[in-house]
Amino acid sequence: MSTSRRSFLRRTALAAAVPLLAGRTATGHPHPESGATPEPNPQAGLLFDRADLPRIRANLELPRFAALRQHLQEVDHTAELHFLREELRLTNRVTDMRRARVLLEESAFAYAVWEKPADLELARTALARLMDYPTWDYFTEAGQYIIGIQRASEATIAVCYALDWIGEHLTAAEITAAEDNVATKGAPACYRTLYGMKFPDRVQGWGFSELDDYPYRFDLSRWPLILNATNLKIIPTCALGIAAVWFHGRHPQAASWLEMSRQSATAFSVMYGLDGSYDEGIGYWGYTTLHLAMQAEVLYRRLGIDDRHLINYPGTTRYALHMSMPTRGAIATNPHETATYTATPKGAINPALDVINFGDSGTGGVDVSVAPWVGRITGDPLCNHIANTIGGMKHLPAAIWYDADAPTAAPSADLLDVRLSNDWVISRTGWTADDTVVALRSGGPANHEHADRNSLIFKAHGERLFHDPFKASYTPTHPQWLLRLTEAHTAILIDGQGHQYHDGSEGTNASWASATVTAYSTGEAWMCVTSEAAPAYQLINDKVSRVERSLLFLKPDVLIVLDRVVLDAQHPAPVQARFQVYNEDGAGRADAGDRLFTIQRPFASLIASIHSAGNFIVRTAQHDLPATAGVFPYVEIESAAASTHTLLTVASASAPDGPKPRVRVSAAGEGWTVTATQGARTMQAHIDPTGDHPTFTVV
C-alpha cells in the first residue's frame, strides 16, 4: 500500500488508520497462559495475520476441511454475480440479504487465502449490494428504529471481516462507504437490541419492519425478555464487539459499544451450565459458542482484553462430544423440498454428522468449529481430538484456528455415561457410528425446545431405532408444527394428549414444562436413570400425579423402559407410549404383534416385548402430515383406561448378520426379572415398580 493512500485513509472520517491485512507485519497475541496480561496490538488482524496465511492454506488442504475447501473454491461466480446484480431483492432480508452477506464473507476470505481475482470481484459486488439495503434488519423498535437481531448483526461481522481481509484491494470510497454502513446501519441496531434486552422495561415495543416482505408475523412484545436467554442475543453481542474493536479510538460510540458487548457476553455466559451444557441443543450450540469465541478472540488480539474464559470452554466442547451420534447410511434428502422459505428447516440429513437432536437441533449435525480455538487457548488435548474427529467444521474460523500438530487425547471411559447439569442423560458404548447411544430428555424448558419431556433416543449398529423426528416447523401455521409436540416423540401421552407446550404465537420460545431426574446410577456395562415429568403434564391435566420414566441400559444392545403413570382414582384414562421410527430415507419399518413390536432399518433391527398387569394393545401408525413432508411412522402401546399404569418395554437391538441378544423376561412378585445374554456376558436385572421410586438391581 502506498504512503499517499495511507495518508488519504487517515484523513477520512471513518476510514482513518484502517489496519489492512496486506500491510501488516505485526502478529496477534500468541495466546499466553491464563493470567498473563496481554498488550494491546492495534495492528493485529481481527482473527489472523498475513503470517498465518500459509498455515491456513495448508489447513484447507487437509481432508478434515475438504467440504469447506470445496464450498469456497467451487463457487459459480457467474451465477452469484447475476444474483447480486439482477435478482437480489432489497425488500428481502431473510434469504437474499443473507445470501449476499455469506457471499461477501466467504469470497473475501477465499481471496485472502488464494488471491483469485474472481473472488475479489464477487466480494466487492456483494459488499456494494449489502450497502444498497436501506436498513440491515427486519425488526424494529417503536415501528421505526431498526434492531439488529439477525441480519444487521451478521452483516456487521461480514463487513468488518471483509475490510480486514481485502481492505488493501478496496478503494478509499468503498472503505468509507462500508464503514459508514457499519456505523449507521449495523452497530447502532445491535446496540439497540442489547440495550432492550438489558432494560426490557424501557423498550417501546419490538415488531416487524414494513420495509421487509417477511411473510410470518407474530407477537414480539415479550421478545426483549425471551431473546435475552437465547442464541439470538450472542450474535449482536459478537457483532457489536467486533465493530467496537474496528472503530476503537476512531468513533465516538466505540467505547460504549465495547462496554455493552462485554456486559452482554458476561450476562449470556450463565446460559451455559457449569459443565458447559447448553439448553437450546447442539444445533444452536455450534454457532452460538463460535460467536462468543470470536468476540473474545477479537478483543484479545486487538485490545489485549482477555474475556476468553467466561464459560467452561473445555466443558462445552465436551458437550459437543456428548451430543454427537454418528449413524450409517446414505445422505437423506426430501425430493419435495424447495429453496422457498417456509419456516421449516432445510437440507439433507448426513448420518456421519448425526446428533442427539433434542429440540430443533438436527439436520446441520455437530459443528465443532470452536474446538480448535478452545484447544489453542487452553492446551486441552481432548478438545483437539474433538476438532479432529467429531462432527464437522464448516465455519471459516475453524480453518483459521486449527493446528494440525496440536497434541490430542481420546475421550476416557468416564465420559461414556453422563448426566449433564441440565438433566439430559446420555449413555453410550463409544463414539463411532456402530456404537450404541441412549439419551433421555429430562430437565427444564428452553428456547427451540419441543414438547419432549422424558422422550428418548436409542441408536445401535449405526441406526436410529427409537427416533426424535427432524424438521419441525418454526411456525404453528405449518403442518410440520406437529413434529414439535409430544405425540411426535418417543414419549408418553395421557388419553392422547401430551404435556404443556406453547401455541407458537411468540415464536419457538420456551414452554413451562419441566421434568427432573430423580435417580441416576451407573455400573460396569450398565446405566440406570429415572425422570419424573408430572409437573409438565399437570399444567394441562390436574388429575395427573405421576408421569415417570425409568431407563435401564444393559450395554451394548438391551434397553429396558419402565413407564409409570398415576391419575386421580376418580378420573381414569388410557395412556399411550409412543416409539418413533426413523424413515427420512424411506427405509424404516415397524410391525406390531400381540405383546411385542419390531423396528427394521437397513443396518439394524429392534425387537421389543411389552409387559403389564393391565390390558394393553400394540399398533403401528403414521403422523397425519402431507406427503411432501415425508412419512413419519411410529409404534403405539395403549394401556387401557385406569388410574394407575405400569408398562415395561424390553427392547434389544442387533445387526442383520450379527449375534442377537438372548433376552428373557419373567414375573417376580409385582415386578420382573430380565435376563440378558450378550455374547459371553449375562446380566440379570430385578425390577420392582411398587415403591415411591422404582428399584433396579443389576447382577
Per-residue pLDDT at 36: 54
Q: Is the pTM of this model over 0.75?
A: yes
Q: Which of 224, 233, 234 is nearest to 196 (CA)?
A: 224
Tell me the three cell numbers of residue 359.
429440540
- Cα dihedral sign, 603-621-597-435: positive
Q: Are 648 and 687 in contact (CB under 8 A)?
A: yes
Domain boundaries, the chain: 1-30+38-44+75-270, 272-330+347-411, 413-654
Any residues with CB less than 8 A from the CB of 104 and at least 6 apart, and which? 123, 126, 127, 130, 158, 159, 162
**Length of the chain, please?**
699
For 173, left (φ over 0), alpha (ψ -120 to 50), or beta? alpha
Q: Give mean pLDDT, residues 679-691.
A: 96
Using left for φ > 0, alpha for ψ between -120 and 50, and beta otherwise, residue 235 falls in alpha
pLDDT value of residue 38? 65
Distance CA 491, CA 499 (A): 10
Q: Which fold has domain 413-654?
A: Beta-galactosidase; Chain A, domain 5 (2.70.98)
Residue 32 has a pLDDT of 46
Closest by CA position to 224, among listed 242, 204, 210, 240:
204
Query: Which has more confidence, 22 or 369?
Result: 369
Q: Across the chain, what does the average pLDDT equal? A: 93
**Cβ distance 487 to 493 under 8 Å?**
yes
pLDDT above 60 (res 608): yes
Q: How far apart are CA 233 and CA 359, in angstroms?
A: 19
The amino acid that residue 134 corresponds to is: P
Segment 487-512, tens digit of pLDDT? 999 999 999 999 999 999 998 999 99
The answer on pLDDT for 25 being more than 90 is no
Per residue in 227-246, pLDDT tens?
A: 999 999 999 999 999 999 99
Amino acid in position 521:
S
